[in-house]
Amino acid sequence: LDWSRRGLSSSQDGVDHELYELTISKLETSITIIHMEDTFNRLMSAAEKTTTLVRKPQKDEELSEEANRVLSGLPNLSFMRAKVLMFPAVLVPKECCSPELQ
């Protein structure tokens, strides 16, 4: 199907192949689990290295002490500006992967 010629875009455009595999893969063997952990760790380290900008008050912008205190108490939501937000779809406790339980 020629998506672009019809003015459409494929839902898989811009999808990271490893992230896609993480979300649809099944837990079949310990090798698969190790591969998933490695992939997840690589994705998370890439996300941690991504920089986001946070608006800082300009030098000539004067805020009251109370306003500064309120602003400093707000949570840092700068991660929301990232191009990709990652949420784990499958959470597997490390205990289930240990050889003693198999």
Measured from the Cβ of residue 22, the count of other Cβ atoms closer than 10 Å reads 19
Instruction: For residue 25, give the DSSP letter.
Output: -
Give the residue extent of every domain in the chain. Answer: 14-48+79-97
Distance CA 22, CA 91 (A): 11
Q: What is the pLDDT along the chain (102 residues), one digit of tens a residue?
A: 566 666 666 666 666 777 767 666 654 555 566 677 777 777 777 766 666 555 666 665 788 889 888 888 888 887 777 777 777 776 666 665 555 544
- Cβ contact 47:88 at 8 Å: no
